[in-house]
Each structure stands twice: as C-alpha cells, then as structure tokens.
C-alpha cells in the first residue's frame, strides 16, 4: 500500500499575505532584494555568489539565450544558458555574455594595415564590434599601429578595396593607457579626452586591452548589475546527466560562473553521480545547482551529494504537462513549504545553508512575494521572460495581437530528451511540454522594473525590507474560492 500524505497539494493562488506593521523604514527605496545563490556556512555573506534581485531565467531554448542573459545580469539577476544544444554552441553563448562587458576587454576584432575596408565591414558584421585594433600581425596582442572605428570611413564614398592603413587613426594620434593602469584611471582618461575607447598597451607597444566608455555608462545606468571582480557579467549554464564529463570542462573554460543540472526529476542516482563527479573534479570552485524536487527526501538526497542550490517544483510550469502525462508532481506552494522546512532543518543540523529556487507556478507578480515568504531564496521563471524582446524566439502577429513563441523543453520541438532521462538509450517517447505562444510584452527592463516595484511595495506592507525578514516575520493565510473572487473587480460594470 502506498504512503499517503495528509496535506493538500496547494498552489500560490490559494494564499494571501497578511499585512504587518509598516514602519517608517519600510519604503521601497530601503528594500534590499539581495539573496544568496549558492550554499554557505555561517553568515549568508559567506555565499560565493549573491543575486541583487531574486530572479533567474529558466534553462529553456525559448528563454535563456545570450541576449536575455546579458540584460538580466545588467539588472541584477542571472540566466542559465540552455543546455539542449551542442556543447560548442552553448560555449559560444556563454562567451558572448562574458565578453559583453568587462573593465579591460581583450580585443577579438583585429586586422593588419594591409587589410581592406571590405575586411573591416565583414569583421563588423560577424562580431558586432565597431572598434577594430590594427596590429602588425592582426592579433589581439600584436604591436598596435592604429585603430579603425566607424568614424574613419564612409560607406557611400570609400571603395571596398581601400587599404586599412589609408584610413585608420594611426598610433601617433592615439591616446593610450599603459599596462598597470587602474580601471578608474582609464575611465578618467576617457572622460578627460572625450574618447569612446582607450587602448591599453605594454612597454613594447603591444595591444593588451581596450576600455570602453559604454561600459562605464552601462554600469551607471544599471546600479544592480551582477558582475564579478573582473567586471564581467555573471552567467550560468544548464547541463545534463549524460555528457557532463565533456560539457562541464568546456563551460568552465568558457567562463560560466555557475552550473545547474536541468532535469524534470532531480531525485535520481544520475544527478547524484553528476554532482559527485563535479565536486571531486573541481571542489567548490565550480558551483552547481540540482533538482527538481518536491519533498524533504529529495532535498536531503541532493544536499548530501553536494548541490550548491536546489530547485523545487515538478509540473507547475505553464507549458509543463508532466502531471497530466505521468501523474507525478505536487502543488508548488506545498512543495516549497515542505522543502524550505527541510532546508532549515539541514542548516540547523549541519551548519550548511543551501538556497532553494522556486521553479514554476508563478502566475501573478504577488505570487513571487508569496514564494519568497514561503522560503524560496530566489525564483526561476520561463514564461515571464519569454515575452520580452531579449528572448531568442520570434515575435509574431496573430490576429490583432503580437505574441512570442514559447515551448517546453519536454516538447518534441525542443527534443530535449536528456531532461527526462530514465536510463537506457531511448529518446523522448511522449511529450511532457507543449508548444505555445505568450503575449508580447516589449523590453525586459521596463517590465522587470514594474515587477520589482510591486515586490518591494508588498514587502513594505508586510513590514519587511529584506527577503530574510520577509521569511521570518510574514504571515500567510489560506483563502476560499469566494474570497478569490472578492479580491478582483466585482459587482461593477467595467468601462471598456
């Protein structure tokens, strides 16, 4: 006879937050959404990585490409580049994020003086970089002879065969920085001389780096930007339990800051072996998350295997049909409450705090605050991000509405059978995800700012200005179906 659990499997929509005392300190400007991403001992400040906002994007083809990863990191969160692709393609996506912004950038757009304008245009098209270093051998560390920028040529007048040496800005006219200069000093030179870029050279005039004005501006426009000590944006990557011995080293070399095993069901020996191999190979130098689980047993199993964070949720995603197809899963709110309790017990027993990520079931913005109050350290979302310009899918017009494509990793379109691996060599036998559309919502930053504003306002109403205080002091109540109706507009005639 099966083991029966007495609790009801509940969703976020069945709960409301009870207001707490809103003190004079409880204003949105004072709210901190900083939260640990990976496990730590003792004080939470010991966590190797902190998010500036409690939001990460899902490990999905239709969500987490490099463009969204860049934009989310600039706003304080992190993306996990999807792993349901070749290792080479995933590595290139990670590199694109890491190259986007850095205080000192190694130039990967270089030519010699004997190249042509046609070569310049081809390089600009392939890399997207408008500043090209001209070196004696065309490499990133050759002797710097000049720079080519868009201001140096006119497409409508200059022939494609014109040589670079005839229109580049020569070294004699360049303002440069010497190797050893600080980033602050480099930015000061840029501002004093009204430059867009500053080449950094060594004593032999060999090109070492570029420092760009736009990177400084970007940081000022995005004060919550998530970057490392090298000023490069942070980015995560998804892995599976099949080719991890080849994929993980490639992603680590590419610069991925954190990994996460992408699986619909994390309570498995395959995840245990994957975690053990990564920890034995890299120790704590490569943080890796695991999941998904929905109860205490699953959490403890992955915690003992070495997981740095653990994802919670099975079947709650808007495009997931695992519950329909296989009859497994748990209401997201109930699963989160149970796993958060297990996380806290584990912390008391072993003095190791392992952050948990709520994955799925978030329909409204206030659900995010509920999930955090119930114990989630951060939230993973797919549908939310799929709506934006920065997601990798097509924007289409259907009827009078604009939409974006959104499909599950368990759909035939994704062909991500590794995520639903049950051993053996068989592929995906039936779908656990659908192919769909979501309403187009425009730029990510505009929408995210509204969402974060709601989260902060709700936290203030609960008397909390940190996520940790929200978890300690918030009060939550179950609601009836009648009170849910009462919570929306009712008994009025809405204006069209």
Residues 46, 39 contacting (CB under 8 angstroms): no
Question: How many other CB atoms sit within 10 Å of the CB of residue 442?
Answer: 11
The secondary structure of 363-403 as a DSSP string is -SHHHHHHHHHTT-SEEEESHHHHTBTTSSSPEEEETTEEE
* Per-residue confidence (pLDDT) for residue 410, from 0 to 100: 61
Torsion 444-446-451-455 (CA) sign: positive
Q: What's the rounded Cα separation, in Å, for the pair 227 and 49?
A: 10
* Per-residue confidence (pLDDT) for residue 35, from 0 to 100: 97
* Per-residue confidence (pLDDT) for residue 428, from 0 to 100: 54
Under the banding of pLDDT at 50, 70 and 90, the label for residue 272 is very high
Would you tell me the crossing angle of helices 365-373 and 332-350 to the nearest 10 degrees? 30
Under the banding of pLDDT at 50, 70 and 90, the label for residue 110 is very high
Q: What's the rounded Cα separation, in Å, for the pair 417 and 414?
A: 8
Under the banding of pLDDT at 50, 70 and 90, the label for residue 472 is very high
| Model confidence, pTM | 0.81
3-state DSSP assignment of residue 72: helix
Rg (CA), the chain: 25
Question: Range with the lowest mean pLDDT among 98-107, 128-137, 227-236?
Answer: 98-107
* Percent of the chain scoring above 70 in pLDDT: 91
Strands 258-261 and 288-293: parallel
Tens of pLDDT, residue by residue over 215-261, are: 777 667 788 999 998 888 999 999 999 999 999 999 999 999 999 99
For 391, phi then psi, to 5°, come to -70, 155
Under the banding of pLDDT at 50, 70 and 90, the label for residue 3 is confident
Mean pLDDT of the chain: 90
Under the banding of pLDDT at 50, 70 and 90, the label for residue 157 is confident
Tens of pLDDT, residue by residue over 16-30, are: 999 999 999 999 999
* Per-residue confidence (pLDDT) for residue 63, from 0 to 100: 95
Q: Which two tokens stand for residue 411?
A: 């759909």
Q: What's the rounded Cα separation, in Å, for the pair 260 and 80?
A: 8
Strands 236-239 and 78-81: parallel
Q: What's the rounded Cα separation, in Å, for the pair 438 and 423?
A: 33
Question: How many other CB atoms sit within 10 Å of the CB of residue 179?
Answer: 13
Give yes or no for residue 368 having a pLDDT over 90. yes
Burial (CB count <10 Å: 0-12, 13-18, 19+), residue 16:
middle
Among the listed residues 26, 74, 260, 320, the single catalytic one is 320
| Residue 419 annotated as catalytic | yes
Give yes or no for residue 300 having a pLDDT over 80. yes
Give yes or no for residue 212 having a pLDDT over 80. yes
Rounded average pLDDT over 193-219: 88
Q: Determine which helix (DSSP H) or strand (DSSP E) holds 96, and give its type and residue range.
A: helix 87-100
Q: Determine which helix (DSSP H) or strand (DSSP E) holds 477, and give its type and residue range.
A: strand 475-478
Give yes or no for residue 279 having a pLDDT over 60. yes
Q: Determine which helix (DSSP H) or strand (DSSP E) holds 341, and give its type and residue range.
A: helix 332-350
* Per-residue confidence (pLDDT) for residue 204, from 0 to 100: 95
Tens of pLDDT, residue by residue over 402-435, are: 999 887 666 566 555 455 555 555 555 555 665 7
| Residue 460 annotated as catalytic | no
Rounded average pLDDT over 194-214: 92
Tens of pLDDT, residue by residue over 436-465, are: 789 999 999 999 999 999 999 999 999 999
Among the listed residues 357, 419, 460, 462, the single catalytic one is 419
Under the banding of pLDDT at 50, 70 and 90, the label for residue 332 is very high
Question: Range with the lowest mean pLDDT among 65-69, 182-186, 195-199, 378-382?
Answer: 182-186
* Per-residue confidence (pLDDT) for residue 58, from 0 to 100: 95
Strands 55-57 and 258-261: unpaired
Torsion 461-466-470-473 (CA) sign: negative
Give yes or no for residue 158 having a pLDDT over 90. no
* Per-residue confidence (pLDDT) for residue 119, from 0 to 100: 94
Residues 419, 262 contacting (CB under 8 angstroms): yes
Tens of pLDDT, residue by residue over 112-126, are: 999 999 999 999 888
Rounded average pLDDT over 80-105: 90
Strands 207-212 and 197-201: antiparallel
* Per-residue confidence (pLDDT) for residue 482, from 0 to 100: 78
Contacts of residue 493, defined as CB under 8 A and 6 or more positions apart, other chains included, come to: none
* Per-residue confidence (pLDDT) for residue 448, from 0 to 100: 97
Q: What's the rounded Cα separation, in Å, for the pair 58 and 262?
A: 9
The secondary structure of 113-156 as a DSSP string is TTSBHHHHHHHHHHH----EEEESSSSTTSBEEEEE-GGG--TT
The secondary structure of 244-272 as a DSSP string is HHHHHHHHHHHT-SEEEE--S---SHHHH
Give yes or no for residue 277 having a pLDDT over 90. yes
Residues 185, 193 contacting (CB under 8 angstroms): no
């Amino acid at each position: 006879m099966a083991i029966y659990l007495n609790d009801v499997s509940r969703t976020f929509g069945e709960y409301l937050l009870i207001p707490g005392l809103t003190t004079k300190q409880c204003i949105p400007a004072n709210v901190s959404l900083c939260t640990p991403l990976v496990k730590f001992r003792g004080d939470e400040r010991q966590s190797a990585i902190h998010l500036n906002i409690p939001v990460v994007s899902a490990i999905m083809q239709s969500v987490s490409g490099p463009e969204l990863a860049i934009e989310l990191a600039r706003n304080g969160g992190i993306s996990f580049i999807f792993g349901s692709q070749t290792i080479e393609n995933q590595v290139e996506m990670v590199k694109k994020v890491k190259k986007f912004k850095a205080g000192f950038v190694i130039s990967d757009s270089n030519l010699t003086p004997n190249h042509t304008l046609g070569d310049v245009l081809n390089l600009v098209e392939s890399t997207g970089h408008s500043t090209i270093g001209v070196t004696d051998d065309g490499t990133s560390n050759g002797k710097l002879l000049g720079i080519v920028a868009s201001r140096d040529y006119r497409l409508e007048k200059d022939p494609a065969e014109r040589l670079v040496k005839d229109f580049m800005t020569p070294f004699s006219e360049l303002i440069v920085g010497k190797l050893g200069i600080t980033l602050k000093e480099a930015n000061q030179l840029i501002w004093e001389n009204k430059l867009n870029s500053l080449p950094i050279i060594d004593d032999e005039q060999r090109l070492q780096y570029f420092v760009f004005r736009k990177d400084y501006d970007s940081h000022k426009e995005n004060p919550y930007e998530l970057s490392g000590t090298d000023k490069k944006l942070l980015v995560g990557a998804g892995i599976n339990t099949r080719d991890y011995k080849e994929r993980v080293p490639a992603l680590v070399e590419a610069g991925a800051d954190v990994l996460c095993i992408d699986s619909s069901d994390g309570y498995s020996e395959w995840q245990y072996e994957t975690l053990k191999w990564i920890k034995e190979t890299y120790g704590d130098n490569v943080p890796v998350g695991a999941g998904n689980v929905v109860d205490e047993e699953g959490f403890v199993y992955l915690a003992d295997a070495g997981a740095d964070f653990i994802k919670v949720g099975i079947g709650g995603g808007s495009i997931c049909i695992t519950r329909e197809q296989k009859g497994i899963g748990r209401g997201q709110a109930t699963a989160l409450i149970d796993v958060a309790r297990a996380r806290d017990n584990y912390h008391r027993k072993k003095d190791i705090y392992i952050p948990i990520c709520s994955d799925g079931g978030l329909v409204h913005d206030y659900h995010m605050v509920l999930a955090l109050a119930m114990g989630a350290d951060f939230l993973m979302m797919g549908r939310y991000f799929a709506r934006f310009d920065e997601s990798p899918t097509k924007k289409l017009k259907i009827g009078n509405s604009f939409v974006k494509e959104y499909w599950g990793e368990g759909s035939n379109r994704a062909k991500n059978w590794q995520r639903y691996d049950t051993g053996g060599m068989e592929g995906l036998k039936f779908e656990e995800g659908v192919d769909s559309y979501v309403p187009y919502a425009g730029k990510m930053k505009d929408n995210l700012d509204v969402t974060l504003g709601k989260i902060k306002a709700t936290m203030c109403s609960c008397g909390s200005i940190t996520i940790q205080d929200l978890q300690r002091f918030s009060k939550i109540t179950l609601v009836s179906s009648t009170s849910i109706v009462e919570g929306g507009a009712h008994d009025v005639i809405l204006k069209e």
